Amino acid sequence: MTAQIPQTEEKIRVSEIFGPTIQGEGALIGQPTVFVRTGGCDYRCTWCDTLHAVDSQYRETWTPMTAEAVFAEIKKLSGGEPLMVSLSGGNPAIQPLGPLIEIGKNKGYRFALETQGTIAQAWFAHLNILTLSPKPPSSEMKTDWAKFEECLAAANGKPQIALKIVIFDQQDYDYARQAAQRYPTLSLYLQPGNHTPPSGQNSEQHIVDMEGINARLRWLAEKVTADQWYEATVLPQLHVLIWGNRRGV
Amino acid sequence: MTAQIPQTEEKIRVSEIFGPTIQGEGALIGQPTVFVRTGGCDYRCTWCDTLHAVDSQYRETWTPMTAEAVFAEIKKLSGGEPLMVSLSGGNPAIQPLGPLIEIGKNKGYRFALETQGTIAQAWFAHLNILTLSPKPPSSEMKTDWAKFEECLAAANGKPQIALKIVIFDQQDYDYARQAAQRYPTLSLYLQPGNHTPPSGQNSEQHIVDMEGINARLRWLAEKVTADQWYEATVLPQLHVLIWGNRRGV
């Protein structure tokens, strides 16, 4: 009898694993979470705030890891106490995250994933919460709504689904209104953009324009209420307000 | 036949009605809301940030209004478009808010109420969300847990219930842990205190110590995660971060 040849397991390309810290954005704002940030993205948003997990010039900082190895790190960071794990990127939907979600859920961990909605995966249905964050015109990316629909179909009504849209200007705002009209049943989060994002590896040295960010938040809050857009939830990036552009928090 | 003598309707003592603005705290953070702040409170927390709705020296600024008059104002402010109404104070549980909730819900409005949990009202069961915010030791108030239980009983499992605790220091933190242990099924929100609260009528002139508030938020976020207290959601007073101590936002 010959030994069974082990199957080559697909690895997850990891940019960073950190936490627990509090989630700074969207539906889970304020909740303790461990972040798994994967490397690689099919988008190149002009204002990307995680270039170190997107641009291939940082590729050598990304580590291929098995689902078991990633979960071991999550477990270590969380002290073995189950919590919410945020799968982020780059675009984490590129990665083979199904096995990680399965291993973690068996141990009581919960999983949230945020993606722009360009790549659908069957394992979306096993998430606890899926945040779809289509990118507005200021990103200079073009939304493929057919792909977006595929993501919704893959989720198959199982996870909670949130629609989150970053807004820099009036055009973005108009885009968000149209997106919200298209999906009136999804819970909706609007987030003012950070026009002074960290840029790649020197992110911590990049000074954030707190006054400008606050001004944009006020503008958005006042616009949403003036327009009687009461279904929208307006939230800042809390971690930026608290920690600036510092990484790993 | 004699004309029916109209019953004297109990009036709501209103400190201010304002909005819509975004909710700055707790479970509804970021959601557009109209605030109805009632006048009068059975507590005198040392760090109260709404003295103008608490201290009887401001009593003459409080207006007795019928439920119909309050709702007319809500309707005007919201442009007749239903939204979440936040009933706040002072302690709004003192006031006869049942008829207002009934009138508003019939028109599609939703109602949230925040109270310290000292006075139970049968109409709690008609709220959409009830936030119980028992006050920690730094307030110098003493929690009557029997009264708190009465509030939970009055809610009768109908509204969503959140437990929200303001934290200034280690003693408050310990209090919050005990309260959370007592009610493990309630969703839990921890909020760092504002040690530079507005003081009565001159609130807008009172400079908020943003650095100090941020430091306390970082301290709390780091403590909660270090203690593996993953059920807690840590949120700031967003309106203070955005607008400082300004009133009516």
How does residue A243 score in pLDDT terms, banded at 50, 70 and 90?
confident
Closest CA to A139 of A95, A180, A175, A183: A175
What does the alpha-carbon distance between residue A184 and residue A182 come to, in Å, rounded to a whole number? 6
Residues of A in contact with B230 (CB under 8 A): 20, 31-32, 78, 81-84
What does the alpha-carbon distance between residue A152 and residue A175 come to, in Å, rounded to a whole number? 19
Burial class (CB in 10 A: 0-12, 13-18, 19+), B223: middle
Amino acid at position A40, single letter: G
* Whether the Cβ atoms of residue B144 and residue B161 lie closer than 8 Å to each other: no
* Whether the Cβ atoms of residue A14 and residue A37 lie closer than 8 Å to each other: yes
Residue B79 has pLDDT above 70, yes or no: yes
How does residue A30 score in pLDDT terms, banded at 50, 70 and 90?
very high
Q: Which two tokens stand for residue B51?
A: 């003295």
Q: Per DSSP, what are the bridge partners of residue A64?
A: A13
Which residue has 């709390």 as its token pair? B220
Which tens digit of pLDDT belongs to each residue from B31-68?
999 999 999 999 999 999 899 999 989 999 999 999 99
* Whether the Cβ atoms of residue B160 and residue B129 lie closer than 8 Å to each other: yes
Please report the pLDDT score of residue B213 as a whole number: 86
In a mutational test of the A interface, the residue from B28, B223, B238, B240 whose CB has the highest number of chain A CBs within 10 Å is: B238
Dmax over CA atoms of chain B, in Å, equals 75
Q: From the list B21, B217, B230, which residue is nearest A242 (CB)?
A: B217
Interface touch A228/B79, C-beta < 8 Å? yes
Mean pLDDT of chain B, nearest integer = 92
Mean pLDDT of chain A, nearest integer = 92
How does residue A199 score in pLDDT terms, banded at 50, 70 and 90?
low
Which tens digit of pLDDT belongs to each residue from B86-133?
999 999 999 999 999 999 999 999 999 999 999 999 999 999 999 999
What does the alpha-carbon distance between residue A115 and residue B148 come to, in Å, rounded to a whole number? 42
Closest CA to B207 of B194, B226, B191: B194
Interface touch B29/A82, C-beta < 8 Å? no
Residues 6+ away with beta carbon under 8 Å from B114? B26, B86, B87, B88, B89, B92, B131, B133, B164
What does the alpha-carbon distance between residue A124 and residue B93 come to, in Å, rounded to a whole number? 43
The residue-averaged pLDDT of A9-18 equals: 94
Interface touch A22/B214, C-beta < 8 Å? no
3-state secondary structure of A194: coil
Quote the distance between the C-alpha of residue A49 and its chain's center. Answer: 11
Q: Per DSSP, what are the bridge partners of residue B43?
A: none
Interface touch A218/B79, C-beta < 8 Å? no
* Whether the Cβ atoms of residue A115 and residue A132 lie closer than 8 Å to each other: yes
How does residue A1 score in pLDDT terms, banded at 50, 70 and 90?
very low
* Whether the Cβ atoms of residue A81 and residue B230 lie closer than 8 Å to each other: yes
